Structure 1
Amino acid sequence: MRERLFWILKDYGIDERIAKAFLEVPREEFLMKHYSLSHVYEDVVLVSYEDGEVFSTSSQPSLMAMFMEWVELGEGMKVLEIGGGTGYNAAVMSRIVGENGFVVTVEYFEKVCKIARENVRRLGIDSVAVVCGDGYYGVPDFAPYDVIFVTVGVDEIPEHWFRQLKDEGRVIVPINMKFSGRQPAFLFVKKGNHLEGNYKLETRFIEAGGNLGNLLERNKKLLKEFPFRKTIRVPRLQMFVELVDLLTRRLTRMNGTFYYAGPEGTVEFSGGEMRIYGDTPEIESLLSQWKSCDYRSFEHLTLHVGYNALSRISCTI
């Protein structure tokens, strides 16, 4: 039956070395629920574990294969996976990186994490380390990584990940958009003090637990009172709020209204305009850059997410 999935992936145009890795790993060994083998090797999302409290899935193989191609996963690479589930995806990636590579996979829910550890142990997979904990912090013990591979919806790309990624390293990540409820996936490359990247496609993953799923709440603590300065009318305000979310990681919400919580100022987004309190050079610079790109949505922009540096926007052709 595994051959069936192999040919499905080949029909999608997936590189043979990646499709072959799915052929070599028995998906049914990572499922705690029973399915017929014919269903296991269809190109579908499967529930891998549930007990009424904790829920885990095995992602759609073609999507995972595309993620692997986009990050250019190859022999000898070191990978940090966030959202390990019961271990299937990490096992597949271990076949691609080979004996000289290594996959570190982090799972937030301890019950699921222990299952993943047992699955990896039982199948004799030595090139995968399963870590139980909050993926927000990454795993510094094995850094630096060539690739960070995210299989849960996250609110941000934390600075911990940025520090643990090699220069020119790649991140594939589905990001929870707090304003629209969308979960687009982005491919980023580390360049100096920025992650530079672009939109790839829409996804729908389980949202991460821990700090990766509560950015709005954490940012409430950053809100301070500043003197009112001015109001700016903003075309397509929702799109700009989503850019602020992606680029600054400082978005929060109170009483249904979104705010940017900056170090020297606050911005309230409401009714098609921004009300600025204090100094917010980051936001005003981003607005100017966005205007120069004709107010395009993030699908048609290149994002430069700054770490100890200002984020910026550039126009794609």
Structure 2
Amino acid sequence: MRERLFWILKNYGVKDRIAKAFLEVPRESFLMKRYPLSYVYEDVVLVSYDDGEVFSTSSQPSLMAMFMEWVELSEGMKVLEVGGGTGYNAAVMSKVVGDSGLIVSIEYSEKICKIAEENLKKLGIENVIVICGDGYYGVPDFAPYDVVFVTVGVDEIPDTWFEQMHEKSRVIVPINLKLSGRQPAFLFSKASPYLVGGYKLETRFIKAGGKLGNLLERNKKFLKEFPLSKVISISRPFLFLELVDILTRKLTKIDGRFYYVDDRGAVEFLNGEIRIYGEATEIENLLSQWERCGYRGFEHLTLHIGYNAFSRVSCSI
């Protein structure tokens, strides 16, 4: 049956080394629910665990294979996986990176995390370390990583991950967009002080628990009283707000309205205009750059997420 999945992946154009890794790992060993083997090796999302309290899925194999290709996963790499679930994806990646590589997989649910540990142990997979905890913090003990591989929807790419990557490391990540409810995946490379990259495709993953899933709530405490300094009319405000969401990690929502907040000011997003209270240099810069790029959606821009630097956008060719 595994051969069927191998040929499905090959038909997607997946390279041999990655497709063969799926041949080496029995997917059914990571499913706590029973399925016919003919279905286990279809290119589908499967529920891997559900006890009515916690829930985990085994992602669509072709999507995971594409993620592996996009980050150029190869032998000897060290990978931080965020959202490990019951361990299947980490097991497949362990075959790609080989004995000289390492997968560090962090899972928020302690119950599911323990299941992953047991599943990997039963198969004798020794180059995967499973960590039970909040993926927001990464795992600094094994840093730096060549790849950060995220299989849950997150509200942001936190500073902690950036610090645990070396120059040119890649991150593939689905980001929860707060306005539309979309969850597009993005591919970035580290080029200090930025992560530089852009949109890849639409996804639908389980939303991360812990700090990776409550950014709007965490940012509420930063909203303070500042004097109104200017009002700017804006075209396509929805698209601009999504850019701000992805790039700045500084959004909050109060009484149905979105705000950008930092130490020097706040920005209120309204239909057709933005109101700036105090200073908001990052937002004004982003607005100018976005206008120069023709008011495009994030799918058609190169994104530069700043760490101790203002985020910015540039026009894709």
Is 1:250 matched up with 2:282?
Answer: no
How far is 1:310 from its partner?
1.1
How far is 1:230 from its partner?
1.1
Structure 1 unaligned regions, length at least 5: none
Query: Counterpart in 1 of 2:78?
Result: 78
- 1:11-160 to 2 correspondence within 5 Å? 11-160=11-160
Aligned counterparts of 1:208 and 1:233: Cα–Cα separation in 2: 35
What amino acid sits opposite 2:20 in the alignment?
A: K
Deviating runs (4+, > 3 A) in structure 1?
none
Query: Counterpart in 2 of 1:260?
Result: 260
Aligned counterparts of 1:311 and 1:257: Cα–Cα separation in 2: 22
Q: Percent identity?
A: 73
Query: Counterpart in 1 of 2:178?
Result: 178
Indicate the SS of the match to 1:221.
helix
State the TM-score, normalized to the length of structure 2.
1.00
Aligned counterparts of 2:103 and 2:166: Cα–Cα separation in 1: 15
Indicate the SS of the match to 1:48.
strand
Indicate the SS of the match to 2:277.
strand
How far is 1:166 from its partner?
1.2
Aligned counterparts of 1:298 and 1:249: Cα–Cα separation in 2: 15
Aligned counterparts of 1:193 and 1:267: Cα–Cα separation in 2: 24
Aligned counterparts of 2:303 and 2:121: Cα–Cα separation in 1: 40
Is 1:5 matched up with 2:5?
Answer: yes
Query: Counterpart in 1 of 2:312?
Result: 312
Indicate the SS of the match to 2:222.
coil
Is 1:240 matched up with 2:240?
Answer: yes
Question: CA deviation digits over 1:49-99, x for unaligned, max 9?
Answer: 000010000000000000000000000000000000000000000000001
State the TM-score, normalized to the length of structure 1.
1.00
What amino acid sits opposite 2:300 in the alignment?
A: H
- How many residue pairs match? The answer is 317
Is 1:292 matched up with 2:292?
Answer: yes
- 1:187-202 to 2 correspondence within 5 Å? 187-202=187-202
CA RMSD after TM alignment: 0.5
Question: CA deviation digits over 1:200-245, x for unaligned, max 9?
Answer: 0000000000000000000001111100111101101011011111
Aligned counterparts of 2:192 and 2:249: Cα–Cα separation in 1: 19
How far is 1:32 from its partner?
0.2
Aligned counterparts of 2:29 and 2:20: Cα–Cα separation in 1: 17
How far is 1:192 from its partner?
1.5
Aligned counterparts of 1:306 and 1:146: Cα–Cα separation in 2: 19
Aligned counterparts of 2:166 and 2:58: Cα–Cα separation in 1: 28
